């Protein structure tokens, strides 16, 4: 081992170590192992111990260096190789970790640690079949390995709604082996939510939080679950979100940094977007037009991708950005420091409380201005996030403002733009004109079909005796049985409810050529699914509620001038369906023109939306510059700030709202 290499490791003694009580032992172990490695630099055991200590402290880059030292002295040091693979995985180099772990298992097929790590790594990169095989091989060797059963359940969950039954079976096995396993309870909650069983889902998640109150994924999953609950009041839902903020944000408030970003209101701004969905996902579907249209002369765009999965969409999004940072393996402290070092002016969360979020980084306030947008229809509950981007349809003035910890910024032309799908099948004539009855449909996730939705749709089916209802994403036997029972209790024969399993995108779009009219669920409306429906010529009826997610349908239809499809009551919802089905010729004419209605609107709205968003960013930044201005701040810059704010107010109502 070269002295320079040893000195390099030694010189990084405390880099990246978290300053919390639980890390003090790790700090002590690092010091102890460094001392041993310095005294006996040719002893691989010391380097392996140092690597383990670094990894325990969260310093995975240093751990990699130490493990490499260990393997350089002893190529057969399997503990060092295992530690190296795990640290590489933590740093995001998952494919290399998989290769190393497979080599380890080839030498020692009974290495349960390596099998578990391999299954975990393969899951992270989306190789679900291979991951399941690794966990099954582990269970053959150790049938009582609860975490392996849990991870098989998670793999089934990732495969989609068709695997809910298999997921629940594996998770219940894990729970029997370890009733207090928090990850198992969280995954059980996720499966129950997929099945539309909100009460058991919430119960499992609350049990997980009772066991480990600081396990934020359980809290975020609970909040996402409650968004689907028709029985919770808006105020109670808001208070639950605020509890998240109080629990996970409060301890950081006193240490929020004094940002050193240059407070020049009209300079080029550094905007960072953070998401676990920068891939083939609905979030990217709506983000891409903005990234493609951003004014690069005024905005430097930095993407922080919080996923090990990289696909063709990821690669396309990367080309729009000035900088790309994969951050899935970074600790919250490390990502916080990276964003601070990147001098991001405006940091945008695109996840809310959905999977892959980094809200605990936002809670540390790494950027002067922080925003949430697109990924979650509601508040984050964090006061560290200053604004939420929305529109007048999703969040009418005075309706939802009091249920947000952020200030709402309403883009005048709408909060997002749908641009259609280039290779979609052609739209065909209205199926009902063939005289074979009417096909109503909801292709949304089954979890959105709540008891009030079933009761309302049963009224529609009763009033339309020739109609059938097609439900999408329902190949799971447990889901079918549950829905058949619910509709049966409402007097609807099982033969009138049809189920459509998951199919590839092109086939899913073509399915709309069998549908006459779509029904939007509530209180959690469809989003991307509704846009697809309109693109394929199938309009939908929606019930506008009084919370953000219950107004998504109204927003989509309102932006296209289809307000006559928006109901304000359940009776009006039934009436709209009856009215539209009463004039099939008019319904067919609308069907043939919907795509043409969307296309020209989209091409113009891409530029309009991005301009409005950039005006909002500029006004937010101007407000921050004005707020921190001091007597030493150049007078000319203060004058610039005032002029910019005045101009921004005249540009859009967005700037007027921000400048208040």
Of 308-317, 356-365, 498-507, 647-656, give the lowest mean pLDDT range: 647-656
pLDDT band (50, 70, 90) for residue 479: confident
pLDDT tens, position by position, 258-284: 999 999 999 999 999 999 999 999 999
Biggest CA pair distance of the chain: 88
Judgement on whether residues 514 and 578 belong to the same structural domain of the protein: yes
23 domain-assigned: yes
441 domain-assigned: yes
Looking at residue 600, its pLDDT comes to: 62
Residue 593 has pLDDT above 60, yes or no: yes
Global pTM reads 0.87
613 domain-assigned: no
Residue 46 has pLDDT above 70, yes or no: yes
CB 267 within 8 A of CB 406: no
The CATH code of the domain that includes 494 is 3.40.50.2000
Taking residues 421-436, what's their average pLDDT? Answer: 94
Q: How far apart are CA 307 and CA 94, in angstroms?
A: 11
Q: Where are the alpha helices (DSSP H) in 182-281?
A: 182-194, 198-211, 216-227, 234-253
Of 364-373, 477-486, 505-514, give the lowest mean pLDDT range: 477-486
Taking residues 405-426, what's their average pLDDT? Answer: 92
CB 258 within 8 A of CB 628: no
> Among the three residues 419, 446, 475, which one is the final residue of a domain in this structure?
419
pLDDT band (50, 70, 90) for residue 546: very high
Residue 654 has pLDDT above 80, yes or no: no
CB 441 within 8 A of CB 399: no
Judgement on whether residues 557 and 588 belong to the same structural domain of the protein: yes
617 domain-assigned: no
Residue 7 has pLDDT above 80, yes or no: no
651 domain-assigned: no
Residue 22 has pLDDT above 70, yes or no: no
pLDDT band (50, 70, 90) for residue 633: very low
CB 457 within 8 A of CB 519: yes
pLDDT band (50, 70, 90) for residue 91: confident
Judgement on whether residues 112 and 23 belong to the same structural domain of the protein: yes
Residue 12 has pLDDT above 50, yes or no: no
Judgement on whether residues 289 and 321 belong to the same structural domain of the protein: yes
> Among the three residues 176, 207, 238, which one is the final residue of a domain in this structure?
207
Q: How far apart are CA 555 and CA 561, in angstroms?
A: 10
- Phi, then psi, of 499 in degrees rounded to 5: -120, 140
Residue 166 has pLDDT above 50, yes or no: yes
Looking at residue 181, its pLDDT comes to: 97
Of 354-358, 365-369, 577-581, 640-644, give the lowest mean pLDDT range: 640-644
Residue 61 has pLDDT above 60, yes or no: yes
* Burial of 260 per CB tally in 10 Å (0-12, 13-18, 19+): exposed
Taking residues 575-603, what's their average pLDDT? Answer: 90
636 domain-assigned: no
Looking at residue 308, its pLDDT comes to: 85
Taking residues 323-331, what's their average pLDDT? Answer: 91
* Beta-sheet pairing, 407-410 with 369-372: unpaired
Grouping H, G, I as helix, E, B as strand and the rest as coil, residue 612 is helix
73 φψ region: left (φ > 0), alpha (ψ -120 to 50), beta (else): alpha
- Compare 630 and 47 and report the one with higher pLDDT: 47
Q: How far apart are CA 221 and CA 210, in angstroms?
A: 14
Judgement on whether residues 80 and 188 belong to the same structural domain of the protein: yes
The CATH code of the domain that includes 101 is 1.25.40.10
CB 218 within 8 A of CB 207: no
Judgement on whether residues 483 and 401 belong to the same structural domain of the protein: no
Judgement on whether residues 157 and 295 belong to the same structural domain of the protein: no
Taking residues 619-645, what's their average pLDDT? Answer: 64
Of 117-121, 189-193, 252-256, 479-483, give the lowest mean pLDDT range: 479-483
Judgement on whether residues 189 and 46 belong to the same structural domain of the protein: yes
Tracing tokens 């020049």 back to the chain, one arrives at: 264
Q: How far apart are CA 244 and CA 205, in angstroms?
A: 14
Judgement on whether residues 378 and 444 belong to the same structural domain of the protein: no
Instruction: Report DSSP letters for 15-76, one per residue.
Output: TT---SGGGHHHHHHHHHHHHHHHHSTT-HHHHHHHHHHHHHTT-HHHHHHHHHHHHHH-TT
Of 19-23, 295-299, 341-345, 473-477, give the lowest mean pLDDT range: 19-23
Looking at residue 163, its pLDDT comes to: 82
Question: What CA–CA distances, in Å, run from 293 to 93, 277, 409, 621?
Answer: 31, 19, 20, 20
Rounded to the nearest integer, the mean pLDDT of the chain is: 90
Taking residues 35-59, what's their average pLDDT? Answer: 89
Residue among 70, 75, 57, 49 nearest 15 (CA): 57
Judgement on whether residues 198 and 281 belong to the same structural domain of the protein: no
185 domain-assigned: yes
The CATH code of the domain that includes 368 is 3.40.50.11380
Judgement on whether residues 275 and 364 belong to the same structural domain of the protein: yes
> Among the three residues 191, 207, 223, which one is the final residue of a domain in this structure?
207
25 domain-assigned: yes
Residue among 372, 373, 390, 374 nearest 382 (CA): 372
Q: Where are the alpha helices (DSSP H) in 311-374?
A: 312-320, 332-341, 359-362
Residue 27 has pLDDT above 80, yes or no: no
Looking at residue 161, its pLDDT comes to: 66
User: Could you list the residue range(s) of the whole structural domain that residue 548 is in?
Assistant: 431-601
- Bond from prior residue into 523 cis (ω within 30 degrees of 0): yes
Give the neighbor-by-neighbor strand order of the sheet with 269-275: 323-326, 299-305, 269-275, 346-349, 369-372, 387-390, 407-410
Question: What CA–CA distances, in Å, run from 625 to 31, 362, 368, 383, 637?
Answer: 44, 20, 10, 19, 9
Judgement on whether residues 442 and 587 belong to the same structural domain of the protein: yes
Number of domains in the chain: 3
Tracing tokens 């199938």 back to the chain, one arrives at: 538
- Compare 204 and 446 and report the one with higher pLDDT: 204
pLDDT band (50, 70, 90) for residue 165: confident
């Amino acid at each position: 081992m070269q002295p320079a290499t040893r000195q390099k490791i030694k010189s990084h003694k405390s880099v990246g170590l978290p300053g919390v009580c639980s890390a003090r032992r790790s700090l002590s172990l690092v010091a102890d192992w460094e001392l041993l490695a310095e005294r006996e630099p040719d002893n691989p055991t010391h380097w392996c111990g140092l690597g383990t200590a670094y990894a325990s402290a969260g310093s995975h880059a240093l751990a990699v260096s130490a493990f490499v030292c260990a393997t350089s002295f002893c190529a057969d040091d399997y503990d060092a190789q295992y530690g190296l693979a795990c640290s590489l995985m933590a740093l995001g180099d998952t494919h290399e970790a998989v290769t190393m772990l497979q080599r380890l298992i080839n030498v020692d097929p009974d290495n349960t640690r390596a099998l578990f790590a391999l299954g975990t790594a393969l899951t992270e990169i989306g190789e679900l079949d291979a991951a399941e095989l690794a966990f099954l091989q582990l269970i053959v060797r150790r049938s009582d390995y609860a975490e392996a059963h849990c991870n098989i359940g998670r793999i089934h969950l990732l495969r989609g709604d068709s695997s809910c039954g298999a997921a629940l079976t594996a998770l219940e096995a894990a729970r029997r082996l370890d009733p207090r396993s928090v990850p198992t309870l969280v995954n059980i909650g996720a499966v129950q939510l997929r099945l539309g069983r909100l009460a058991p889902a919430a119960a499992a998640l609350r049990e997980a939080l009772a066991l480990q109150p600081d396990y934020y994924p359980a809290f975020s999953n609970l909040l996402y679950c409650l968004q689907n609950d028709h029985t919770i009041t808006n105020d109670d839902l808001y208070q639950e979100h605020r509890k998240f903020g109080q629990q996970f944000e409060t301890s950081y408030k006193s240490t929020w940094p004094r940002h050193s970003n240059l407070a020049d209101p009209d300079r080029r701004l550094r905007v960072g977007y953070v998401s676990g969905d920068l891939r083939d996902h609905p979030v990217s579907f709506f983000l891409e037009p903005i990234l493609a249209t951003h004014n690069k002369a005024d905005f430097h765009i930095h993407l922080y991708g919080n996923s090990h999965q990289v696909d063709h969409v990821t690669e396309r999004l990367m080309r729009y950005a000035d900088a790309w940072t994969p951050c899935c393996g970074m600790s919250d402290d490390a990502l916080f420091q990276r964003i601070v070092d990147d001098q991001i002016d405006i940091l945008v969360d695109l996840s809310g409380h959905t999977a892959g979020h980094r809200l605990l980084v936002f809670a540390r306030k790494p950027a002067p201005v922080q925003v949430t947008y697109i990924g979650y229809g509601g508040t984050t509950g964090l006061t560290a996030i200053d604004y939420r981007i929305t529109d007048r349809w999703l969040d009418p003035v005075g309706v939802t403002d009091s249920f947000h910890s952020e200030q709402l910024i309403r883009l005048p032309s709408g909060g997002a733009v749908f641009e259609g799908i280039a290779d979609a099948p052609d739209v065909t004539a209205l199926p009902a004109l063939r005289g074979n009855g009417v096909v109503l449909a909801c292709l949304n996730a089954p979890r959105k079909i709540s008891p009030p939705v079933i009761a309302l749709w049963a009224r529609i089916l009763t009033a339309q005796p020739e109609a059938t209802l097609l439900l999408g994403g329902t190949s799971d036997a447990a889901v079918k049985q549950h829905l058949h029972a619910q509709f049966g209790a409402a007097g609807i024969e099982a033969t009138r409810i049809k189920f459509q399993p998951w199919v590839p995108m092109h086939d899913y779009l073509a399915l709309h050529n069998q549908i006459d009219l779509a029904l939007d669920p509530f209180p959690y409306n469809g989003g991307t699914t509704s846009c697809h429906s309109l693109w394929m010529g199938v309009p939908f009826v929606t019930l506008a509620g009084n919370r953000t997610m219950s107004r998504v349908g109204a927003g989509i239809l309102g932006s296209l001038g289809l307000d006559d499809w928006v109901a304000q009551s359940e009776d009006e919802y039934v009436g709209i369906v009856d009215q539209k089905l009463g004039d099939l010729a008019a319904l067919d004419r609308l069907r043939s023109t919907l795509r043409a209605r969307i296309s020209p609107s989209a091409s113009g709205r891409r530029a309009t939306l991005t301009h409005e968003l950039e005006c909002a960013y500029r006004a937010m930044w101007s407000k921050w510059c004005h707020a921190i201005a001091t007597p030493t701040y150049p007078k000319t810059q203060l004058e610039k700030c005032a002029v910019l704010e005045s101009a921004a107010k005249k540009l859009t109502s967005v700037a007027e709202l921000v400048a208040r």
